[in-house]
Structure 1
């Protein structure tokens, strides 16, 4: 076997058609990451859910920066309870065949790049399951700049880690013990985090509500759908406050006159400036089709 094998990663992510890292990991553009930082967990969840990606969110975490959002490209690691023969074989393979240094968790952190997030399945082990402490958390911060970690397991040196401002760490529990009695059986392979699944190159969205793993080929779609929801909410709240429309009109399918009002507002309002790159042809076509069907459909909308 090989850890972090480019052929395996490319085979696992065939729907991604864009740029890749040298190890085959999908490289979603930086601008998508920037825009992803503005969206909520629910906004990321919705387009995934409606495309049958039902297991992309996990909420049962503690966080070192609970009020901050974390976004980055996933680097995954999968651990299992230690079995001596397997442990020694894989450790030796990493050291001798792949020239890796230190223990398994150090191999993963040494591979990180800017805007990466480590995603670790430690089978919910906290006692002797502490993937990082203060030193390795500092290394993550240095390498990723604004990334972090999602650990289905433990951390140590928590009081030190919470003071590292430019990363966030989502974890299950903390313990003073070092990592022991575990073996890494996969790196940049499919990774289960609670009830969710993460692949290498997924966009990790860590929020106060939990963590979402967005497949790279759906990342732009997810951002666009979230931004459309956000700007429609801004407009809807404004018009409700003005008393121009009822809640029923805003909360249900918009009629063509509302869409025309919205698009006029989009062109003029400073609040809409950052959303003006969005296109609305599909929504307008639906509104025109409803308009053509007559008043009964307008009333229902």
Structure 2
């Protein structure tokens, strides 16, 4: 089944979506989360997982991958830890075969070569060779998580490109997407005007450029 809003998000870059989020007062930028390769592009619904330091007795890093629906993005909150990876080549292989939308980790991944070879969209705070086994464990699945200071709920739209990742809250996705599309159209008109020889300041003034990202209700 086609998810129209995921498709709409996939046509808009993260910079424009970020501007729309700012205009609407939504903190949806996943700060510090970067693509493993700048060619990666990703759009899909969030399938969330929360990790924590290992307990006693120890839990496991989890065997969740077969339960993630096709097209969904795996979103892992490991508290930003860079000393204990929660994703490696076996998960990359399974995710690629399962036609998942990508993976976003507030923490570290490893075995990066396979994601690069397969073109599997991987976004994380860092990468390392050090395993998370016996260091962290899966605490909960499909719960609200924190990714780069952004709140991510199950089913939210995750959009990634060369600049990073944004999250579009499910409850406000229509509003965010419509605002982003309007900003995108205005900026396209500015570029066209500049290409035709118009001064940038004039083109920006005509399209009210300096108001495009201003938060609604804010004066001046």
* TM-score interval for Structure 1 and Structure 2 normalised by the shorter chain: 0.7 to 0.9
Matches within 5 A, 1:20-35: 30-35=3-8
Determine the C-alpha separation between the residues in 1 that align with 2:38 and 2:62.
24
In the comparison of the two structures, how many residue pairs are matched? Answer: 207
Pick one of 157, 164, 168 that aligns with 2:121.
Answer: 168
Q: Does structure 1 retain, via aligned residues, the 8 Å contact 2:34–2:165?
A: no
Contact 2:76 2:106 in 1 (8 A): yes
Q: CA deviation at 1:137?
A: 0.6
Instruction: Measure, in 2, the Cα distance between the counterparts of 1:81 and 1:146.
Output: 27
Equivalents in 2 of 1:235, 1:65: separation in Å? 30
- 1:231 positional shift: 2.6
Q: What is the deviation of 1:192? A: 0.9
Asked whether the 8 Å contact 1:70–1:146 carries over to 2, the reply is no
Q: Is the 8 A contact 2:109 2:124 kept in 1?
A: yes
Q: Hey, which of these two has a bigger chunk of helix by percent?
A: 1
Q: Label 1:160 to 1:175 Cα distance change in 2 as closer, same or farther (>3 A).
A: same
Q: Distance in 1 between matches of 2:192 and 2:36?
A: 36
With the length of structure 2 as denominator, give the TM-score of the two structures. Answer: 0.83
Q: Identify which of 69, 72, 88 aligns with 1:113.
A: 69
CA 1:177 to 1:241, structure 2 compared with 1: closer, same or farther past 3 Å?
Answer: closer
1:129-176 Cα distance to aligned partner (Å, 9 max, x none) = 221211111111122x251111112222112221112x2111222232
Q: CA deviation at 1:230?
A: 2.4
By relative contact order (CA 8 Å, sep 6+), the higher-ranking structure is 2
Does 2:10 correspond to 1:53?
Answer: no
1:140 is matched with: 95
Q: Deviations over 1:241-273 (max 9, x none)?
A: 334x55444313559xxxxxxxxxxxxxxxxxx
Consecutive unaligned residues of structure 2, counting only runs of 5 or more, are 209-220
- Aligned partner of residue 81 in structure 2, secondary structure: strand
The answer for the alignment partner of 2:163 in structure 1 is 209
1:71 maps to 2:43: yes
Q: What stretches of structure 1 of length at least 5 have no aligned partner? A: 1-26, 92-102, 256-301
Residues in 1 aligned to 2:196 and 2:148: alpha-carbon distance in whole angstroms: 45
What is the TM-score with the length of structure 1 in the denominator?
Answer: 0.62
Distance in 2 between residues matched to 1:232 and 1:254, nearest whole Å: 6
Q: Does structure 2 conserve the Cα–Cα contact (< 8 Å) formed by 1:149 and 1:170?
A: yes
